[in-house]
Amino acid sequence: RYIFKEDPIIKAGRYNIFPDTSISELIERFEDGDVQLFKLAIIEGTVAKNNLNNLEKIIEDEKLNFDVPQSIKDIFAEEALLMPDTYFFSDQQDLVQVLSNSKLYLEDYLKDSWAQRSKDNPLETPYQALVLASIIEREALLRSEQEKIASVFLSRLKIDMKLQADPTSSYGFYGEYGKKIGRAVLDNKNPYNTYQNKGLPPGPICYPSKGAIDAAIKSSPGEFYYFVARGDGSHVFSKTYEEHNKAVKKYIYSK
């Protein structure tokens, strides 16, 4: 027989109860707060609006008795306010706490990384680093190339050369990725399109990883000003426009 403790504290929430669970085990789980957890995976390189949609779908599919609170909608109203990760929550209060903590963690991580900034890095603020990191995240399919791609963009920023990063044109035109980048996209004069505007776009274009943040901050301008995708996830880096044209003809136009 289970003897109840004096004034037991039971955490509210949804519990998975199995047929062979005894009353004593059930009471202990209630007191321990062993509630059912729901998973939200925020993947690096994705955009905020799609992750908000994913969260709303989880709440709907699981028939949770709350809507996304405004404080959380605000976190998803801009890119890169959370660190990409897998988050678990049990109820509305838990969701707010978990994502609010992630927002603070990202701010602290960015601050700590900025303190280790390369001396010849031309970025002026941690926010600029977050913006560049988001571009690096979309461009570098291989983590091993993040610093090298960062150095290309830093070299371009140093001499006031357009970044000409495809992901910025896609984000500015579509607000997301996976759609065709044609001439209409590249020529569109929105503020995010780095084919049309010099310098960094006005804000991040996705959720960057820790690696991309560190690459943006700790890298330096290098000898390369161009890169083109080989088609296998890696890139060919070039010092001159002539070398770059040869690489483009080999890996793009030859297909």
Amino acid of residue 249: K
Rounded to whole angstroms, the Cα distance separating 7 from 18 reads 25
Q: What is the pLDDT of residue 233?
A: 93
Residue 63 zone, left/alpha/beta (φ > 0; ψ -120 to 50; rest): left
The Cα–Cα gap between 140 and 166 comes to 12
Query: What letters, b where the CB count within 10 A reaches 16 and e where it falls short, cover 85-107?
Result: bebebbbbebbbebbeebeeebe
pLDDT of residue 42: 98
In the chain, the percentage of residues whose pLDDT exceeds 90 is: 83
Q: Give every residue of the chain whose pLDDT is below 70, as ranges.
A: 1-13, 15-18, 21-34, 254-255
The Cα 190–Cα 193 span in angstroms is 6
> Is the distance from CB of 156 to CB of 122 less than 8 angstroms?
no
Which pair of tokens denotes residue 201? 């776009």
- Give the pLDDT of residue 36: 85
pLDDT of residue 252: 83
Residue 150's φ and ψ, nearest 5 degrees, are -60, -40
> Looking at the DSSP assignment, which residues form a beta bridge with residue 228?
236
Give the 3-state secondary structure of residue 93: helix
Residue type, position 39, single letter: K
Which residue type occupies 153?
Answer: F
Query: How many helices (H) and strands (E) in the chain?
Result: 10, 4
Residues shown for the chain: 255
pLDDT of residue 22: 65
What residues pair up with 89 in beta bridges, in sequence order? 38
Residue 170 half-sphere exposure toward CB, CA atoms < 13 A: 17
